[in-house]
Structure 1
């Protein structure tokens, strides 16, 4: 049979036909991810057909073999070799496609389900890497393509130096992967959500630049060698969205490349300025100047900038020297003029607001603020300039420690100072703040920048818009109209259907209950919250309902931990229960506004109305609790919790007193039907209000004083504490002392 031409024709035909049909079917199965078992059935079918053909051929050849004359030996030998060769190739073809099918079965039955589970478990880094790896082998697989697209996004990379080598590192990996030479178009990187997605490294000869987290676009790496020691490069950007709560700076800004110091200026660095006669040399100082019509010269102004003993230098220094052991602490107690003079002494600049925001990783459309855990907020003193307690990729202490002067003016008589300080809360990191350029708070410091094109940037001259509003001249509405406005917060009288469960407390001296109920408005979320009570007073206590600060907008998780209990201990141990509701737009509930500043949109109005309804509904629930004395219900709120009380206390008459801290009237306008100044006039209950005169968020003159004049509380029940040398962060001991005195008197 192996000598037969017929056999050769059958085998070669099967080989050609089998290869063609299997290639086509393989492409079809791969493209549409058809189960590989059907491909195996086709291979087995073809193999059976081949064997059947051989058997049929063998029988036919046996019948005709005796009738044929013997063929030429050479020809017979050639045909025999060809038949064996083609038969072997055909068998190899069957084995190859069968094994390939088995590999695809592994892909479909094991790897794809594993990728799918990883995606459901939000292990996006695995999904990205595995789908990328498998697509190299199965480029037409649509399911792999889908997972790769869902787990990635694309960036472009270019440089001011031609043919720069580009490397990428994904997530928290330590391995740099070579990408190619610039320009690189549409580089796929993982979309890891809250985690860092990638870092880029660019190398061109002696130039090397490692980008910050998720930095991409155009890189000015030729400027690396022009950076002063201890500075990092920030690349040029165009069409940049720049915004801070209450301050919109546009969405098509251009930021030229600049260098920024890794650390805040230290005491030892600033001392060189003093030792070299910086306070005696008028060339470094921005005088003469005029502020609000008053002229200031170098000669009649430099005497304002003295230390504790009247010598030139920061406010807390002694005879031109910093406190012992604090050489590496940030210089503080300096005015804007001193910060500007020091920058000029170094041949550098103060950052403008765009540069500072970019250096703090706050430029662009920020979906989530950088991780500032470990930053120096809510403490009693600064820390060393190079101390960084987190790995967020932020410059050390750009969040907290000391506020950093910025070159831009705010209105006619203030200068921007950003980042917050050790004495403020975390949300001040992303809050616009300004002070008089003469202010020398111990929380004021500086960081420097290097401008490359010239020692001046156009963005330095931009004046941050100062919102002006005189509430005293704004008309009130009649009581009838106000009742209509107030009715926006009403809802049908329906059963509460509240579920209450005890949860584990980090301190056994106190019990924590979690309550949960439906909202009074159409919503797929639950209104929930917590009640914290001392075990000593669990049979009967006096409730205090709290409204959070703006950190509840920017954070997505509320932990009732030992810190919260410790913070409220002074009230809990005196027989008060603390009620902490999770209102609409706070913590893990749906966010419909991204900051606390009012605006005239319907969205903002509806958000405030939902918050008000949640507040009233929680009071409904508290009224049903037999172990809470609802007749002693009090309110407390700090910052956003303070300004929100302007509405909440006017729509809920079951609250009998309120302690609010650092508040007032916000200057931004909202829809008239929720304008705070119309509500605050209707508040009649006793109020404790503690404010700092140097508050840069709710300004004393424009925000607090109008509130104090308009609030409807009788003078004898207004407990106002004004602190001269304090800003938005209040001394905790004073807060506790004043709050206890107040609440014991009225509750």
Structure 2
């Protein structure tokens, strides 16, 4: 016992033991202090873990140094030398790492509008070197607080970057009813979990209506996310919440639709699943084929007649690409294709389900507000388009609620009749990307090798009326309507849009200088028709001298449908504050049908009435624009010769008459502009678009379903503007917003170019 005590006493007296003990105490104190001040100095949890690891890794090095130097130095000298070396190494290494590697990476990500990557990189810096780079302000610029509302309390909320499931772990955010969490701007995945409930996966852009942090209003809100009781969701299906949404289908406009909740297959139906239907005698069970009017090439067939045509490559009943009634080896997890609409419906009945109506398919494929907070810029590049063949299901194109492959791979049959024939949606592996949001009419007996499907289970069968009804297909305009007018006809036509100047009787209603960037004015001018007066909002940069260049702004469709009060309208909503920062003014007229001049007429009663209203609207917009430019040129603080046009969405799709008959615009910038397929002939401007010679910059989204790429290219190619005075740029984005930094760079470069002319 004495020997043990003696050994312990000697150990305590040794420099090695004292150095180790002092190091342990010092490490403990530092970790505790860091924990206490973590909130104050924004030290994240990962940094705390890294700090502990630094001290653990340093321990063996300290022990070796202390042992080697114990005969020459005191304990405190040993500890001091070691801590100095450790701190110097950490400091210099961190400084070099942050400034040489991380900050350039963050800068490049931000310039490319990849805020998720920038966010991950800044958090990595904060985790390892919070004292050598201040990223708090930067993080606030590239992120937004998301309000994640759930119907149940006690729901664990996790997130990760979209489509990085192989390399990124879920990060815990918090537990409801806590709901406010800062997330990077971009597309994110959420995982909601609670014991006794099914896990709920959600994909959304941030900001968005889903996160209750989007500046624009759609006139409606989304309900809190509701988890489903464990075991309530049918096998291989996912839950789609109900509520309002705008279908992301080309040609459907921006009309709000309300659906009840429903279930839909997570994946396209596979060969293996369809084989179960075949083996169960599905082709011979009349209950799956009842009430089907089977039509092939205009001829109605009996079921027995049709079944003789529903055969594989060897003449056995089954999908067209099978052999001897069996799918090819190794194809069990690939989507079943080569089937008619009738076979797809029979299988759905076999499962107790139905084929999805078009609107239900669209609800499951994209978020409710895809037009303004899209996931398509990431979803579509990850989907199976423009490739050689089908892929296994469940690998690509993760949708907003956990579905896969709704875009690409196999095009999918839906319930509705479309223009007298069947309808498929989503596009296929052999199609271009823009088909992902286009309606594809085809005969219901079509057995193409790219025809697949998935099924739906409606929780409210009443949704089939009206959403199961036939869908009217707009007839394409005949080619004769697209022939340019000759000079004589155009001369006669253009007289309808001749406008003369009048006394505007302009009145300043108010001037607001509360914004740090701009002075806002509201001015009223007479229009000279129907005794109407138009308000004009003016946003002027502060602390500027001399005459200002002016940008006349035409907004999106929401300002013609559910606009805010005119006094609440702000260019900040559209991110146009950069124009003010560039030293220019924004002039925003409340043209006919927008803001406080909304149309209150009853719905049109006929196609002729629709055409009449469009003709009247175009004339009103022509007059309103003429008065706006007259007013600008009447002010001494504006340069009368440097007036520009910027249109966004609606204001970029319908500029043809404004740009054609108004020669005072130096140049124009069209955000997500193109050809409209819904405007009546003549009013759409396509007959005279070749006469427009204004310098035009078009900025569009590659994944825009409202203005698909082919429509933007069609408008651009038809412009009469000289090739050197027009430019079309496509971004990896949806309809709106466009990548901000890249949009700003292109816009200002264009304005600068024509400001100097």
Which one scores higher on RCO, CA 8 angstroms, separation ≥ 6?
A: 2
Q: TM-score, normalised by structure 1?
A: 0.45
Q: TM-score, normalised by structure 2?
A: 0.45
